[in-house]
Every structure is written in C-alpha cells, then in structure tokens.
C-alpha cells in the first residue's frame, strides 16, 4: 500500500524565508561563539582550556536545541516556533553587553579561573541563546518536508545552508567585525539580525504563506 503524502507546512514564500534565516541564524550562532572569546579572555585567559569551555558549551546548547526543537515541532508545526526562539535569543543577546562583565567577575570570584569557572562563564554567556537558536534546524526540516520520500534531501539542504552560515559567521566575525568594531557593538548587531529574522518569519506566518 502506498504511503499517503504529507502536506507541506511551509509554502513558497515561507520556504524561502526559512532557508534565508537558516543562513542568518547559522552565521549569528558561530559568530557569537567567536565573540564569546572576547568576553571570556580578560577574565579566564585565551588558552586551550577557555576554548574547550566555549566549544563544549556551544555543542551542549545545540544538543538541547535539537532535542527541544524536534519535540516542539511535532506538537506545534508552526513557523512561529522558530520566530519566537529567535526573538528570545535576540533579547538575551541585547542584555549581554551591560551584564557580561559583572557576571564574569562574580563567577571568577566564586569559582576561580579553572575548569569550573570557565564552564560556568561560558554557559552564562552562550548556553541559553544558542539553545534557542539550536531549535531552528529540526523545526525547519519539519516545516519544509512535503513527503517522507524527501526527508534526506530537505534535512541536507537545511543543515547545509545553516553550516554555510556557520562558516560565514566565523570568518566574517573574526576577520572583519572584531578588528573593526567593539564586542558590544557586534553583540547588538547580532541581536538586531535575530530580531529581524524573527520579524520576517512572523510576517510570513501571519500571511499564511
């Protein structure tokens, strides 16, 4: 017996919006990881231990986001889910410039500059916003899927576009933004990009595209 085809959740405009934002979210995600080093280095140094803390925290955040996004989209397959996640990440990033230094000092005073302090500082800076952003890919795959026969292709496209964004965000942040403008200005820029991403997806969702 032939399997019934699944109806697409995302139409043409929504599909284009999702893929464009997959690139932007991927760019911000890895760009903010690189920027996170600028917040941590004055307090915890720039050694391999600090980088291990940053990378581990990013991977933990993505793990949380993947699990959460996959579970949520099965219950509520809506573009508003990733719009909301991007909006929450934008708010968090907008609060980082004013609060990062006091938080880093507080952690350093209580936990020191060893592994516990580094991991706590990296988590305070990165874990929550990147967990929100980590929900993007599994939700996007579900929304773009029109048939079980194209699951692999859709997943490959979403994760491929997101990874291209990762590469761009890493290189552009490291070689263009950081030498040009300060860490706080870049953080506000990332918050604005995520806010625009959220708005674009909410507008498409409202139109029912």
Six-digit token string for 122: 């990296």
Condensed to tens digits (0 to 9), the pLDDT of residues 141-189 reads: 999 987 677 888 999 999 999 999 999 999 999 999 999 999 999 999 9
pLDDT attached to residue 9: 54
Mean pLDDT of 198-209: 84
Q: Are 60 and 126 in contact (CB under 8 A)?
A: no
Distance CA(16)–CA(196), nearest Å, equals 15
The answer to whether the beta carbons of residues 79 and 207 sit under 8 Å apart is no
pLDDT category of residue 4 using cuts at 50, 70 and 90: very low
Among residues 127, 123, 106, the alpha carbon closest in space to that of 115 is found at 123
Instruction: Kindly indicate the confidence band of residue 208, based on its pLDDT and cuts at 50, 70 and 90.
Output: low
How wide is the angle at C-alpha 127 spanned by C-alphas 94 and 157, nearest 5°? 90
User: Please, which residues have CB within 8 angstroms of residue 161's CB and are 6 or more apart in sequence?
Assistant: 19, 22, 23, 26
């Amino acid at each position: 017996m032939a399997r019934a085809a699944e109806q697409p959740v995302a139409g043409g405009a929504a599909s284009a919006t999702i893929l464009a934002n997959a690139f932007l979210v991927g760019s911000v995600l890895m760009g903010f990881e690189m920027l996170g080093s600028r917040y941590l280095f004055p307090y915890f140094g720039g050694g391999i231990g600090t980088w291990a803390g940053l990378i581990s925290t990013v991977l933990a955040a993505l793990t949380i986001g993947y699990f959460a996004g996959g579970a949520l989209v099965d219950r509520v397959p809506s573009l508003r889910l990733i719009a909301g996640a991007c909006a929450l990440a934008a708010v968090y990033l907008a609060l980082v410039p004013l609060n990062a230094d006091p938080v880093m000092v507080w952690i350093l005073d209580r936990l020191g500059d060893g592994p516990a302090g580094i991991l706590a500082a990296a988590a305070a800076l990165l874990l929550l916003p990147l967990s929100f952003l980590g929900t993007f890919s599994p939700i996007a795959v579900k929304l773009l899927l029109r048939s079980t026969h194209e699951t692999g292709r859709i997943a490959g496209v979403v994760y491929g576009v997101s990874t291209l964004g990762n590469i761009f965000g890493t290189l552009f942040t490291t070689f263009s933004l950081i030498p040009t403008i300060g860490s706080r200005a870049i953080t506000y820029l990332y918050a604005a990009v995520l806010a625009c991403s959220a708005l674009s997806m909410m507008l498409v969702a409202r139109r029912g595209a």
